[in-house]
Amino acid sequence: MLFVLDVGNTNTVLGVFEGKELKYEWRIKTDRHKTEDEFGVLISSLFKHRGIEMSEITDVVISSVVPPIMFALEKMSRDYFRMEPYIVDKGDFQSYLKMNYPRPQEIGADRIVNAVAGISQYGAPLIIIDFGTATTYCYINDKKEYNGGIIAPGMNISMEALYSHASKLPKIEIEAPTNVVGKSTVEAMQSGIYYGTIEMIDGLVRRIKEQYNTDATVIATGGLSQLIAKDSKMIDRVDPNLTLKGLAMIYDMMKKKNT
C-alpha cells in the first residue's frame, strides 16, 4: 500500500492507495507545531480505525506548501514507517511536467501535482481550479505544458476577513444560500461569499479561455469544489481527490525512472 500526504496551509489530506485505487482518505487540520510523534500517533489512530497496519505501507510520498512542517513529517516516516519518504520536490518536477513558465521554482508543489494528475486523467488543454486556503487556477496548454495561473483569496480567507475587520459581522458557515438577496446579515454574507466566488470563477475562466482562444476542460478540486460546482456555469468536472491521485502518479513515474 502507498501512503500519500498533501500538506496545505489550512488542511492536510492523507490517502492510502492499493495499486491504483484510492482506498482511504482523511482530511486533518494542518498544524505546523506538531511533533513527529504527534503525527505518528494520529496517523496510527486513523489507520487503526480503518483496519490498516502501518507495516502494510510500502512507500510514503509527501507534497507540501508548508516548509516548517517537513522536518517532523520526514522524521515521522522514518520512525513509524521505517522508511525515507519520497518528497515531491521543485528541483525535479520538470522530469514529469513540461513547462512554459519563466519562473517554475515559484510554483507550489500542489499545483504541480494537480497538473500531472489532470493531464493524465483529462488530457489537455485544461484549467484546474483548486479550492484551498487560496483559490488557484492553473492553465495547461494543448501541448500539455504548464502555462501559468491565477491566485485569489480562498472562500475561508474572505469569510475570516469580513468577520475580523467588520465589528458587527458574525462568523458564519460557508454554504449555498437560498436567495441571492439575503434577508438577514448571515444570509447576506453567505450570498456575498458564495455567489461572489462563483462569479469570480466563471469570469476568470472566461478570460483565460478568451486569452488563449481555447475551449479547455475545467476541473475543480479541493474541499469546497463540490459545493461551488453546483452553481458554476464554467466548471465541467469535479475531482476532489485530484491531488492525491497526482501524488500516486508521480510516485509511479519516479519508481519507473529509477528501475
Same domain, 16 and 141: no
How many domains is the chain partitioned into structurally? 2
Q: Tell me whether residue 223 is annotated as binding.
A: no
What single string gives the DSSP state of each residue in 8-27? -SSEEEEEEEETTEEEEEEE
Both 102 and 198 in one domain: the answer is yes
User: Does the annotation place 12 within a ligand binding site?
Assistant: yes
Q: What is the DSSP string of 46-58?
A: HHHHTT--GGG--
Residue 257 placed within a domain: no
Same domain, 70 and 100: no
**What CATH number corresponds to the domain at position 42?**
3.30.420.40
7 labeled binding residue: yes
Q: What tens digit of pLDDT does each residue of 14-36 get?
A: 999 998 899 999 999 999 999 99
- 207 with 105, same domain? yes
- Per-residue pLDDT, 109: 85
- If asked whether residues 165 and 240 sit together in one domain, one would say yes
Cβ atoms of 3 and 85 within 8 Å: the answer is: no
Q: Report whether 217 belongs to an annotated binding site.
A: no
Give residue 143's domain range.
93-247
Examine the domain organization and report whether 189 and 111 are in the same domain.
Answer: yes
In a domain, 198, yes or no: yes
Is 180 inside any structural domain? yes
pLDDT at 116: 93
The model carries a pTM of: 0.88
- Residue 255 placed within a domain: no
**Catalytic residue check, 79:** no
Q: What is the pLDDT of residues 134-186, one digit of tens each?
A: 999 999 999 999 999 999 998 888 887 777 767 666 677 778 888 899 888 88
Choose one of 87, 112, 133: the last residue of a domain. 87
- Are residues 82 and 98 both part of a single domain? no
Predicted pLDDT of residue 156: 82
Out of 59, 79, 92, 110, the active site residue is: 110
CA 139/CA 53 separation, integer angstroms: 39
Domain assignment present for 256: no
Nine-digit cell at 162?
469580513
Packed helices 109-122 and 242-257: angle between N→C axes, nearest 10 degrees: 90
Reported in sequence order, the residue ranges of 81-144 that DSSP labels E, i.e. its strands, are: 86-87, 98-99, 126-131, 134-140
The number of residues making up the chain comes to 259
Residue 119 and residue 203 share a domain: yes
Say whether the peptide bond before residue 125 is cis (omega within 30 degrees of 0). Answer: yes
At position 153, the amino acid (one-letter code) is P
Residues 152 and 229 in one domain: yes
Based on the domain organization, do 70 and 127 belong to the same domain? no
Would residue 252 count as lying in a domain?
Answer: no
Please tell me whether residues 226 and 194 are part of one structural domain.
Answer: yes
Which of 72, 87, 102 is the C-terminal boundary of a domain?
A: 87
At residue 90, does pLDDT exceed 60?
no
The predicted model gives 70-87 an average pLDDT of: 94
Q: Which three cell numbers stand for residue 94?
A: 520538470
Element (H, E) at 244: helix 242-257
- The secondary structure element, H or E, covering residue 217 is strand 217-222
Using CB atoms within 10 Å of the CB of residue 236, give its burial: 0 to 12 exposed, 13 to 18 middle, 19+ buried.
middle
Query: Which pLDDT does position 157 carry in this prediction?
Result: 80
Better-predicted residue by pLDDT, 127 or 10:
127
Quick one: pLDDT at residue 188?
Answer: 86
259 pLDDT tier (thresholds 50, 70, 90): low
Residue 147 in marked binding region = no
pLDDT 10s digits, 199-223: 999 999 999 999 999 999 999 998 8
Residue where a domain stops, chosen among 63, 87, 111: 87
Tell whether 254 is covered by a domain: no
Residue 191 has pLDDT above 90, yes or no: no
> Both 24 and 136 in a single domain?
no
Checking if the pLDDT of 55 tops 60, the result is yes
User: Which of these, 6, 2, 1, 39, lies nearest to 244 by C-alpha position?
Assistant: 6
